[in-house]
Structure 1
Amino acid sequence: MTLPDEALRERLLEVAEQSIWHGLNHERPLPVDPAAEPEALREKRASFVTLKRHGLLRGCIGAVEPVRPLVEDVVHNAYAAGFRDPRFPPLDEAELDGLELQISLLTPPEPMHFNSEAELIEQLRPGVDGLILKDGGHRGTFLPAVWASVPEPRAFLRELRIKAGLPPDGWSDTLQVERYRTESFGRRL
């Protein structure tokens, strides 16, 4: 599920950056016409856009299920990462210099099968797997990039449980976990 060439990755980075600038000036995402884009960018794909400033998270928004053409998804997620992430105030123009922009394209999620926390942890592939955790009405996801800051599988699962609003420890027989991989690329603005 990778993009076939560098030009397509550059196009996505270009429209993501343009969407952030457009958001500063118009308070909405950049309008795009998927029909005018190459076929690979018209396919429905799930993506996340992550923004960092001085190496620290500044916004991250996306979806784990494909809901719209990839180019449109990236444009909307770039705008939302900059202006709608509830953890941060909206970006201002002074923050754009040196802002790091990363796009992650997700493979379709695959259910994992396990009977205990130990079995689940044994199946995890640090640095490779993104995880979606669901239990009751709680849900959370970590992109594979999170392994860089939480490299130990038990700690990774614990932090994801907290993000999903679940107790950090303990076991639930109703826990569901799916995994996915990402193709990630980025640049500084």
Structure 2
Amino acid sequence: KLEIDEKKVPKNLREKRATFVTLLKNGEFRGCIGNILPKFPLYKDVINNSLSAAFSDPRFPQLKYAELKELKIEISILTVPKRIIYNDTDDLLAKIKPGDYGIILQSGFFQATFLPDVWKELPKKEDFLTNLSLKAGLAPDAWKNPETEFFYYRTENFTE
């Protein structure tokens, strides 16, 4: 178990922040785990999400030591999400800015998010929201339901 003397951690890294950690192997997606809301100090959230992305992402087998040389890590620090107030789907589409924001979709107990980088793969708003609906375990057109809520956030990204 990793033990860290919190007194030696700089104050700004002890602030509660939400993060996502994305692992890339030879430029290909290898794992991604994170939190939408700040729950833990920044340094702990990065450590926990790094370990989870490497060993607990259900989409991939656990990372092996031999893969480390081919691995790149991206850390995204999220701002606190803000609700998108909209009247109808046209209004929602007008308020969403591709590439600038990550989007959270919430419908009842179902929720999913795409980080801002996902816009590179899904640049059309309708495709983005359809895939986000599917990621949340909902029907592809769930984003059109007027009771579906949306939130946006920005990220500050670091890559190693």
Q: TM-score range by the shorter chain?
A: over 0.9
One of 9, 12, 17 as aligned partner of 1:45? 17
2:30 is the counterpart of 1:83: no
- Residue 148 of structure 1 deviates from its aligned partner by 1.1
Cα 1:93–1:176, aligned 2, differ >3 Å: closer, same or farther? Answer: same
- Residue 53 of structure 1 deviates from its aligned partner by 0.8
One of 35, 49, 52 as aligned partner of 1:63? 35
Match of 1:23 in 2: none
Aligned equivalents of 2:74, 2:43: Cα separation in 1 = 14
Are the aligned partners of 1:48 and 1:60 in contact in 2 as well (CA < 8 Å)?
Answer: yes
Q: Which residue type is aligned with residue 157 of structure 2?
A: S
2:145 is the counterpart of 1:172: yes
Q: Which runs of 5+ in 1 are unaligned?
A: 1-27
Cα root mean square deviation, aligned: 1.2
Aligned equivalents of 2:28, 2:12: Cα separation in 1 = 31
- Structure 1 length as normaliser, TM-score? 0.81
Aligned equivalents of 2:3, 2:120: Cα separation in 1 = 34
- Structure 2 length as normaliser, TM-score? 0.95
Aligned equivalents of 1:145, 1:111: Cα separation in 2 = 20
- Residue 54 of structure 1 deviates from its aligned partner by 1.8
Displaced runs of 4+ in structure 1, greater than 2 A? Answer: 30-35
One of 150, 155, 158 as aligned partner of 1:182? 155
Match of 2:102 in 1: 130
2:60 is the counterpart of 1:93: no
Identity of aligned residues (%): 45
| Bigger Cα displacement from structure 2, 84-93 vs 163-172 | 163-172
Aligned length: 159
Q: Which residue type is aligned with residue 123 of structure 1?
A: K
Matched residue of 1:96: which SS? Answer: helix
1:27-46, aligned counterparts within 5 Å?
Answer: 30-46=2-18
- What CA deviation, in whole Å up to 9, does each residue of 1:91-138 have, x standing for no partner? 001111120100000000000001212211111111111011000111
- Residue 32 of structure 1 deviates from its aligned partner by 2.7
Match of 1:8 in 2: none
